[in-house]
Structure 1
Amino acid sequence: MPFLARGRPAVTTTGATTELAEFASGLEFADLPPEVVERITWHVLDAVGAGLAGSAKPWNAVVRRYALRESAPGPCTAYGSAATARPEWAALANATAGHGFEIDDYALPALAHPGCVVVPAALAVGEELGAGGRRMLAAAAAGFETVVRFGLATTPSLTSDRGFHVTGVHGVFGAAAVACRLRGLDAGTTASAYGLAASHAGGVTEYTRSGGEVKRLHAGLAAMGGIRAATLARDGFTGPRTAVEGPRGLLRAYAARARPAALTDGLGTRWELHGLALKRYCVCAGIQAPLQAVAELRARHDLPPAAVEEVVVGVDDATRAHVGAVGAHPRDMTEAQFSARHAVAMSLVLGGNGPGHYARLEAAGFDLPAVSALAARVRLERDAEAEAAFPARLLARVRVRLRGGGELVRVAEAPGSPGAPMTGEEIEAKFLGLAGEVAGDRAARAVRDAVRALPHDGPVAAVLAPVREEFTRRNA
């Protein structure tokens, strides 16, 4: 029996793989609206900060050591190291680190994580080529737009119905777009690269149920796979030109309810980057709004943990499924950062959910009795307002029921999302805090200045040079 005769209609988008390739291969810096240049530049800065913060974590250091050991000599910087590598390997290490501490960007309603893959790929290939900032930003814009459009076409079905991780599936196409554009590959070669990238897409979300560090690696594999696909296509190796939309292509394989038109509708004339979001807290995007509600309640009321009878967190169904499976006793950092119960309790007991709070949890072997005790009194439920808003907005309604009577209620939107955006000053402060902790304040400021110079065609190599120089000095 033919595969297409098994019930569901075929995905019939015409030429999506080719249209996406034509968009990426033809994009120039001059084509970017000023607001796109500004947004991408901020997200480059944020992604580098997230990557530097992640590079200090032991699970991400494992991947960096592996990458540096396996790579031939190359010119590309590895976060948190004085060593360099070939582009694929530097991107593997840096993208893993960038997705390695739950402080990287995301997109609504696409539910994608573009920056952790696109930016490391752009920096690695940009360093390899000695590229200028404008060329790099055009490539990064192509990568961000590609990832977001794949998200719009496949989520939430990709995860809710099939269990795949957005970063590993979408990101490889973003990285391929970046590498092809930076290397000046034509549309046909880029389409072939996308055909190869489709066979690198993957990653399942069982980590939301039983932990493990693999979630961080999905970004690294996507960045590595996208660069590899571009390199092989450049060298003449071919992939299917309908790998995305074909009857046995990615959309049919990875999403039960795909929206094929989202890939190309308005492509080249309408940007879909308005939904890009940044994180304030070191947790899954779905927990950002609950933590903001708790933070606002803490700012207005005295809330000692002993006074709390129960905390009820109202969110949408998809968020509840994604961050509600892990309970009060996480066994590793992934479980901790994907447990809404534990994160809410940590905010009330420790006073926040920043890098220092999670470092304290890690040092305690993920066992802080006061946090776990309160986490056992946190309950998630469906909230009608949050459900109606999802996935365009992430809302949460938090109700704190007090011992002795009384209830405090707060509704909040995820900070850093389009409905509650961070200011430029807040984005910069976040970066300097994350990067300064790992590379020192002087290097962090130098990186910031180099990123600021990219729209003026400052060299890509200048972005990470201060980090490499700092670690060279420390190793001397």
Structure 2
Amino acid sequence: MSDETNILARYVADLAFADLPPEVVARAERLVLDFFGNIARGGADAESSASVRAMLARLGLDGPGACTVVGASRTYAPAIAALLNGVYGHSLDFDDTHAESSLHPSAPVVCAAFAAAEMTGASGRDFITAVIAGYEVCCRLGVALDPTVHYARGFHPTATAGTFGAAAAAGKLLGLDAERIACAFGVAASQAAGSLQFLVNGAWNKRYQVGAAAMNGLIAATLSAEGFKGASDAIEGKHGFLHGYSDGADPAKAVRDLGTVYETMKIGLKPYPSCRYTHAALDGLLSLRAEHHLTAADIVKVRVGLHPNGITLTGAPLAEKRRARTVVDGQFSMPFTAAVALDQGAFGWDDYDRLGDPVLDALCDRIDVEADPALEGRAHPFGALLTVTTTGGTFELDIPDPSGEPDLFPADAALAAKFTTLVKPVLGEKTPDLARSLLQSTDIANMAQAPASSERRRAAGISQRRRTNGPAAVLRCGATLSPAFSSTLPRGAKPAKTPFAAHMLQRQTIQPTRLFFHLCLFGINVVPYLR
């Protein structure tokens, strides 16, 4: 029998920050930043978020703890923080994707790692290393499953394979050795769950099951840390994850080129808050509209060719996809997202307010979505083939990859713009002076841990905004937030010149994940400081 479980466990246990190529670290930092923006907006705006919070309160699970939920005014127990961050961050369907595995790595991995990092007071190096370990595990397992077969059986790979990635990241931060990480995988095998049935009625299961993957991965790692015995051969065994969840699994793919080829570098970011299979078509339609000054009235017919996985998620049954009425329906509707793009030349989160718009319904009726065999043999499944018939002629476009994929990864300015778009409606305008003060401070340990008083928040220009459907957007930033924040520097000392991430990673006595979180939530463009 092959030994993928133990090979992956040894890889996670042995992975060291010093062994990671700089470009892999840089990519992981940017993925984390992007995902934090998703959490902040999802917690405030996603209609499912209030129900999850109410459930926790009713069951007595919302008590105080030591871990951060992005955008919330209070802390939670580690498992609940992982759950909420995961649910919130995946709710917009604006989070990153790994094409070959067809899953969203950050939602389960970052949330489990973030909670474990705060539990253990981990350094920035430890946090980033654990996140990368989690990315590698869940992406590789997703590839080994064969996502087409996994989808056909009704599974959601982000929630299934993601549980193992979450366990790997949390186990790394809890200091587990290879044997205990393999044990954590054994526990994760019993917790990996996620169904595609949500597609039938636009249900919120997809959001919750991904948050549950983060929580369950953290629980699996913690059980192992406490001596709990998990199943052996959990990944490749006869009744293990790969064979239990797929008819076409290839366990060898889970460890092929492990440590030399980084799946982390194959993770892309989303420019639109919808299923990734809609994005190549949206890129093409928006480009065509801009280049030829098209309006909705010019559109006679649109034919969108997608990979079969894309049809499963966004194109069938076509009549139902043309009449999306809930946000989840819209997120998984090629006709709706295409109609919005053609009608207004853009597509963003706020456009779900147009669900049921008669103008869009009429346009949806002119949009056909079909499986195109030409897309099945390609390296990546997210491409699209378009035939757009207008009153002025017919256009054909082949978009092999959507924007945001690794070869088209957004520049820092675009990443910062997306982050600001997500966070600004929740937190409002924040002073850039705060960013400079935070970056120049030498007393990061105290700043990262002490809560700010309301007076200090007001002095720093930080408002408290409450939304009727979201948590209070109050931030627990440092004890010295004031216009005179630079006075925390020793007399005569000059502000630190070290770039933020390097400073974060070099300081082993701080809680840099919390500082990074605070910077992100102020809507500050920290990307230029990441390297």
TM-score (norm 2): 0.80
Displacement after TM superposition at 1:420 (Å)? 2.4
- Taking the aligned partners of 2:38 and 2:91, their CA distance within structure 1 comes to 8
Deviation for aligned residue 1:158:
4.4
Q: CA deviation at 1:285?
A: 0.6
The alpha-carbon distance between structure 1 residues 159 and 209, as it changes in their structure 2 partners (threshold 3 A), is: farther
In structure 2, the CA distance between the partners of 1:64 and 1:28, relative to structure 1 (3 Å rule), is farther
Find the partner of 1:350 among 324, 341, 344: 344
Structure 2 counterpart of 1:282: 273
Equivalent of residue 461 in structure 1, options 499, 505, 514? 514
Specify every segment of 5 or more residues in structure 1 that has no aligned partner in the other structure, as ranges.
1-11, 471-476
Which structure is higher in RCO with an 8 Å CA cutoff and minimum separation 6?
1
Q: Distance in 2 between matches of 1:66 and 1:442?
A: 32
Rounded to whole Å, the distance in 1 between the matches of 2:72 and 2:360 is 34
Report whether the alignment pairs 1:380 with 2:374.
Answer: no
Within 5 Å, give how 1:353-432 maps onto structure 2.
353-358=347-352, 360-361=353-354, 366-389=355-378, 392-403=380-391, 406-412=393-399, 413-432=401-420
Deviation at 1:435, TM superposition (A): 1.9
| Among 122, 134, 148, the residue aligned to 1:131 | 122
How far apart, CA to CA, are the structure 1 residues paired with 2:520 and 2:54?
17
For 1:468 and 1:157, locate their aligned partners in 2 and report how far apart those are by CA, in whole Å: 37
Q: Is 1:115 paired with 2:99?
A: no
Structure-2 change in CA distance of 1:34 and 1:467 (3 Å):
closer
Q: Amino acid of the residue matched to residue 517 of structure 2?
A: L
Query: Against the structure 1 CA distance between its residues 269 and 307, is the aligned structure 2 distance closer, same or farther, given a 3 Å change threshold?
Result: closer
SS in 1 for 2:51: helix
Please identify, of 68-77 and 91-100, the stretch whose mean Cα deviation from structure 2 is larger.
68-77
SS of the equivalent of 2:218 reads helix
Asked if 2 retains the 8 angstrom alpha-carbon contact of 1:45 and 1:451, the reply is: no
User: Does residue 85 in structure 1 map to residue 76 in structure 2?
Assistant: yes
Conserved? CA contact 2:35–2:96, under 8 Å: yes
Q: Is the 8 A contact 2:299 2:388 kept in 1?
A: yes
In the aligned structure 1, how far is the partner of 2:124 from the partner of 2:56?
A: 26
**Aligned with 1:399: secondary structure?**
strand
Deviation at 1:49, TM superposition (A): 1.1
Q: Match for 2:284 among 283, 287, 293?
A: 293
Give me the whole-angstrom Cα distance separating, in 1, the residues matched to 2:398 and 2:247: 32
SS for the counterpart of 1:103 is coil
Which range moves more in the overlay, 106-115 or 58-67? 58-67
**Which has the higher mean CA deviation after the structures are superposed, 286-295 or 448-457?**
448-457
Gaps of 5+ in 2: 440-499, 524-531
Amino acid of the structure 2 residue aligned with 1:205: L
Question: Which secondary structure does the structure 2 equivalent of 1:131 belong to?
Answer: coil
CA 1:467–1:47: 2 relative to 1, 3 Å: closer
What does residue 47 of structure 2 align with? 58
2:372, 2:344 → 1: CA distance?
A: 26
- Say how many residue pairs are matched: 451
TM superposition score normalised by structure 1: 0.89
- Match in the other structure for 1:42: 30
The alpha carbon displacement at 1:416 in A equals 0.3
Cα distance, 1:46 vs structure 2: 0.9
Instruction: Quote the offset at 1:270 in angstroms.
Output: 3.1
Amino acid in structure 1 at the alignment position of 2:241: L
For 1:23, give the aligned amino acid.
Answer: Y
Cα distance in 1 for residues equivalent to 2:145 and 2:415? 29
Residue by residue over 1:130-158, the C-alpha shift from the partner in whole angstroms, topping out at 9 and shown as x without a partner, is: 21111100111100111111111013244
> What does the per-residue CA deviation read over 1:40-80, in whole Å, with 9 as the maximum and x for residues that have no partner?
11111111111112111221232244446514421111123
Q: Match for residue 15 of structure 1?
A: 3
Once the two structures are TM-superposed, the CA of residue 189 in structure 1 deviates from its matched residue by 1.1
Alignment match of 2:307 (pick from 316, 332, 342): 316
Pair 1:434 & 2:432 matched:
no
After superposition, where does 1:331-350 map in structure 2 within 5 Å? 331-350=325-344
* 1:223 to 2:217 alignment: no
Q: Residue 168 of structure 2 aligns with which residue?
A: 177
What is the CA deviation profile of residues 303-350 of structure 1, one whole-angstrom value per residue up to 9, with x for unaligned ones? 221221111112222212221024211121111010001110111123
> Would you say the 8 A contact 1:432–1:441 is kept in 2?
no
Distance 1:145 1:94 in 2: 20
